[in-house]
Structure 1
Amino acid sequence: MTHLPPPPADLLRDAALFLDFDGTLVELQGHPDAVAVDTRLAALIDRLGDALDGRVAIISGRPVAGIRALFGNPHFAISGSHGLEVAWPDGRHARAERPAALDRIVDQMHTFATATNGVLVEEKPLGAALHYRAVPTAEAAARDLAATLAADAGLHLQTGKMMIEVRVPGADKGTALRALMQAPLFAGRTPVFLGDDDTDEPAMVAARDLGGAGILIGAPRDTAAAWRLDDVATTLTWLETATESLTA
């Protein structure tokens, strides 16, 4: 495991900035619905968008509608559901088709959660997740169930921090970043991606392969990132400093 330095304040010059949400811009919570966007974060993203001429996007495992609701109809691009949907500020919205098997999967996950106090089910347009942060001892059973459900339905098994998700295959945060970089808004710029989870690693790789870099948020671990910041608080402070550097 290699020690990674913090990113320089001027890293975002001529950049296209791609941001994970949970664990990067906001602290992880026991339930996804407990997360909120405060005035500091909302203002920061607005300032970044202005300083980068709109070259800011959020790439999240949350659905597009969830990110939109948190930011209040924002003026930046969003790739949601691990790259399975994308929305643009002008109203364009593309999304993969939802398989019928997800309804059965959601029912079986709820049955499991009812029998396992503390486990939460997160329903998404293109997937369903079991969160066991409140009951870590349920990890093995949750992962076994999700693996069986994914295999039976021919869907993708997505790991994450204290959660396991069954979702539509065919995309990840790396394919999302590559697709966004082909859009005129981002094309020709240097991609910089910030993320904390193993679900973010494909985007770290994509940013690196396209001549940019990833920034890992959190404790040191094996990663394709070139830089690291300690936590959400440090990340917000660095983004504010980087914004000031862009406008200096």
Structure 2
Amino acid sequence: TTYPAAEVGKIARSVGALFLLDTVSSIAGIDVRTDEWGVDLNMTGSQKCLAAPLGMALVAVSPRAWEVMEHRSKPARSWAYDLLRWKEWWIPMSRGGQVPDGAPRRQPVSMPTHLTAAMSVAVRLILEEGLAHRFRRHDVAATALRRGLAAMGVEMFPDPSILSNTVSCLKVPKGIEPAAVVAQMRDRYGILIGTGLDKMRTTTLRIGTMGVTASPPYVLPTLSALELALRDLGYKCEPGAGVAAAQAAFADLT
């Protein structure tokens, strides 16, 4: 789901609190306005909508957050997680750091060269596609997926007004275990989705439309495999209805 981050940012500023925003499943898939929303620490990962390999943690830090760190009463608990090290050793003064522009810079930790190179390529591909087109592609893919699920008689969770364009959560039909659907799709049809999390693990499934998977070559086979798996487990629905509805959505919206 998504939530009103801009409004949350205003509340945080009104009480003098830092605003930390988790955008692991959002960055490069939906429009996230870090500065405009007053986000102090925007934290994401490399492997989802950015479509780079797993293994990098990315953080955007506001001037207000830097100031709080510089005046903290206790030091950071670990060297690797001390963001001030990056400001002191790596970030040039022109970008708010402490390293004179043009002077040698040092990374406070050993960086994974292969992941850094892969992230560079991923960002280049995103910019080549264009953010507006990329956001639209994720919107269309999520809409097509939801229309396909509706045609199969499968309900979404939660309120449609806050559904995300990058991860869709659906209610599993009564009498069917989510884990059984995941196993059937994986083992028989070669497609992997996930169960819900925590208390929702036994009642919901999650399907991602992120990065390259926000496209017909991924959405349509996923709907087909989901329908077949549900039918294998006793669910009744019109054969092919989900894929047909999603195909129509892609045709109408692109």
Compute the TM-score of the two structures, normalised by the length of structure 2.
0.29
Which one has a larger percent strand, Structure 1 or Structure 2? 1
Bigger radius of gyration, 1 or 2? Answer: 2
Higher relative contact order (CA 8 A, sep 6+): 1
Which one has a larger percent helix, Structure 1 or Structure 2? 2
